[in-house]
């Protein structure tokens, strides 16, 4: 099993550009989520999904879109990149909602918006 795979590992965007961060898991997990990690702060939830076709907002959803067309994939779209979105992004998955099970995290995407 590859676990949770995120691509790309690094990305530089100009303000206003859009892009998609990819996330795929091969563990047949129902729950998937996206976090951003900023210096000195804990992981903050952007969006999450409890199964294919179901998504919901987390703590910091503005400027991001998600979709979940398959169990395996959960891409995160930045609609119009802003410098405030410079961060490290992590995708995670779990058997259920995660509040009763631990998450498996990807290795992260380091995004810089200039």
Residue ranges in contact with other proteins by CB under 8 A? 4, 33, 40-43, 45, 48, 50, 56-59, 90, 92, 97-100, 102-108
How near is the Cβ of 15 to other proteins at its closest, in Å?
A: 26
For 66-94, b/e burial (b = at least 16 CB within 10 A) is bbbeebbebbbebeebeeebbbebbbbbb
Q: Which is nearer to other proteins, 75 or 82 (CB)?
A: 75
How near is the Cβ of 77 to other proteins at its closest, in Å?
A: 20
Q: Which is nearer to other proteins, 64 or 103 (CB)?
A: 103
The answer to whether the beta carbons of residues 94 and 100 sit under 8 Å apart is no
How near is the Cβ of 78 to other proteins at its closest, in Å?
A: 19
Q: Which is nearer to other proteins, 1 or 100 (CB)?
A: 100
Q: What are phi and psi of 57, to 5 degrees?
A: -85, 150
Dihedral through CA 108, CA 81, CA 22, CA 97, nearest 10? Answer: 70
């Amino acid at each position: 099993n590859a676990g949770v795979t995120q691509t790309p590992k690094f990305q530089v965007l100009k303000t206003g550009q859009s892009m998609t961060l990819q996330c795929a898991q091969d563990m047949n997990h129902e729950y998937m989520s996206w976090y951003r990690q900023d210096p000195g702060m804990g992981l903050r939830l952007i969006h999450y999904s409890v199964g294919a076709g179901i998504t919901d907002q987390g703590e910091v959803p503005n400027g991001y879109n998600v979709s979940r067309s398959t169990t395996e994939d959960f891409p995160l779209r930045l609609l119009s990149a802003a410098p405030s979105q410079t961060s490290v992004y992590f995708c995670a998955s779990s058997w259920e909602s995660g509040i009763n099970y631990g998450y498996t995290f990807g290795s992260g995407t380091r995004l810089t918006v200039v």
